A and B are shown apart, each in its own frame.
Chain A
Amino acid sequence: MATALATLGTLLATLGVAFLLVAAIGVWRLPDTLSRLHALTKADTAGTALVALGALCLSGSLSAALPLVLCVTLVGISGATLGHLIARAHLGRETR
């Protein structure tokens, strides 16, 4: 049971890191602000959530769940809001 949980945790965390890596490559390689933003917000939020889930499995304790869930929620909310703000600022600059 414990080893299975640990394996699952490592797997999830690795997947999460892969998502984050894709997000980073996207920011680096994509041509304009909006597509970069597109790559960043989604892959970033999903990646963080997966890493947190993996960490939860690895820790194996439920008391660690609360801060991790809080982290993921906050990252989700702030990621979405920031994505919106950056996009708005970008559009505002283009239309001006």
Chain B
Amino acid sequence: MPVFDILTATGAVFCAAIALGARDRVAAIAGFLLMGLVVALAWVRLGAPDVALAEAAIGAGLTGALLLRGAARIGPLEPAAPPARALRASAALLALGLAGLLGWAFAGAGGASVYPALVRASLAESGVGNPVTAVLLNFRAWDTLLEVVVLAVALLLVAALAPPRIDPAPLGEMVLPFARVVVPVAVLLAGHLLWLGAEAPGGAFQAGAVLAGGAVALGLCGVLRPAERTGAALRIAGLAGPALFVLAAIATAALTGGLLDYPAAAAKTWILVIESALTLSIAATLFLLFLGSEGKSR
């Protein structure tokens, strides 16, 4: 396996170099997506299938759609003079020095993590069997709530800055049959991932990304035409999940006296309700980010 590890590590760096160095935006995006796939593989090797799933769905999947949309909006890369050699050399030296220092520090850092034992000891009380979900929605649900707010802020920025929207030309008759297969599968898969998240790798983020992928397919074949009304509905859907999460946090504080302290024995229900709402909101947010703005098109 060391060979495989070395290959993934160098592969990720190589793809990152392509993404940074390519003269063409699409090539750079392709390099970035490839890096997402390689990094997802690396996560599998590191024993983190949850992160691998999220990375594959978002980093190597939806981000591609978003980046290509952005690239189409800003036009081709203008040739720029390469920075001075001295500047490049000093940047490379600095980066290598930092990487060396970090490598040395991480290799020497020998603190035993206190978390695995703590999570194991408290998993039975958390209401779910998947330790990752237990951490994300029970032990450290506060982190997740704030992360969800980050996503909502991204949505707010798109709404407030309102970049000009591009209506995609429908991709032709071949895409419709494709969407007829892919979209139901995406919906099924999202539900499966959401339900599975309680006991096995999966959860709201992965499910939401898959659902958003299905929505993007519908958008590309021209079935889901972006219109002002769809945009407003999507915005409300995107905001509803975070709002429900915050409301749940306040409700738990009122019921048990502790912020996000779920009532005993009902933790799984609370987690599932929150995760379902988050799935829909994450999907709506990602799709709205893909569409650009909800306003009038250019």
A–B touching in complex (CB under 8 Å):
yes
Chain A residues close to B by CB (< 8 Å): 70, 73-74, 77-78, 81, 84-85, 88
B13 interface residue per 8 A CB criterion: no
What separation, in Å, do the CA atoms of A78 and B221 have in the docked complex? 14
- Tell me the interface secondary structure of chain A in the complex: helix
Q: Is the CB of B182 within 8 A of A85?
A: no
CA–CA, A78 to B214, complex, Å?
13
19 A-B pairs with CB atoms under 8 Å apart are A73-B181, A74-B181, A74-B182, A74-B185, A77-B178, A77-B181, A77-B182, A78-B178, A78-B182, A81-B174, A81-B175, A81-B178, A84-B172, A84-B174, A85-B171, A85-B172, A85-B174, A85-B175, A88-B172
B190 CB, min distance to chain A CBs, angstroms: 14
* Alpha-carbon gap, A77 to B179, bound state (A): 10
Q: In the complex, what's the smallest C-beta–C-beta distance from B37 to chain A, in angstroms?
A: 14
Chain B interface residue bracket vs A: under 10
* A77: B residues at CB distance < 8 A: 178, 181-182
Expressed in whole angstroms, the minimum distance between the Cβ of B79 and any Cβ of chain A is 21
> What distance in Å separates the Cβ of A80 from its nearest Cβ neighbour in chain B?
8
Interface string of B172-212 (1 = CB under 8 A from A): 10110010011001000000000000000000000000000
Contacts of A74 in B (CB 8 A): 181-182, 185
Q: Tell me the nearest residue of chain A to B172, going by C-beta.
A: A88
List the 7 shortest-distance A-B pairs measured between CB atoms, nearest first.
A81-B178, A84-B174, A77-B181, A81-B174, A85-B171, A77-B178, A88-B172
